[in-house]
Amino acid sequence: MVPPHWRATEKGLYSQGGLAATPGTSNHGWGLSVDLDLNPASEAWMKANAPRFGFVEDVPREPWHWTYRPAQ
């Protein structure tokens, strides 16, 4: 069986510009981060309400990227 990260390794996505995270290092892979396709109204709602549900916008210049990080 081919490892799931084989295609990304073959294409050089880990070493050429950081287009993909090394397996096991991405919050997406751990189920903690999501990329959402938001219209302007939905984006505004997320900015206003997401913290109430434990989500933060933690990547500058990526308003579609949200990470679950509940208050400790």
* Model confidence pLDDT, tens digit, residues 49-63: 999 999 999 988 889
Q: pLDDT-derived band of residue 34, with 50, 70 and 90 as boundaries?
A: very high
40 or 3: which leads in pLDDT: 40
Question: For 62-71, what is the mean pLDDT?
Answer: 91
Question: For 21-45, what is the mean pLDDT?
Answer: 88
State the Cα–Cα distance between residues 46 and 55, nearest whole angstrom. 9
% of the chain with per-residue pLDDT over 90: 44
Question: For 16-43, what is the mean pLDDT?
Answer: 82
State the Cα–Cα distance between residues 12 and 50, nearest whole angstrom. 35
**HSE of 32 in the Cβ direction (CA atoms, 13 Å)?**
13
Cβ–Cβ < 8 Å for 19, 12? no
Question: Which segments within 1-72 are labelled E, that is strand?
Answer: 33-35, 55-56, 65-68
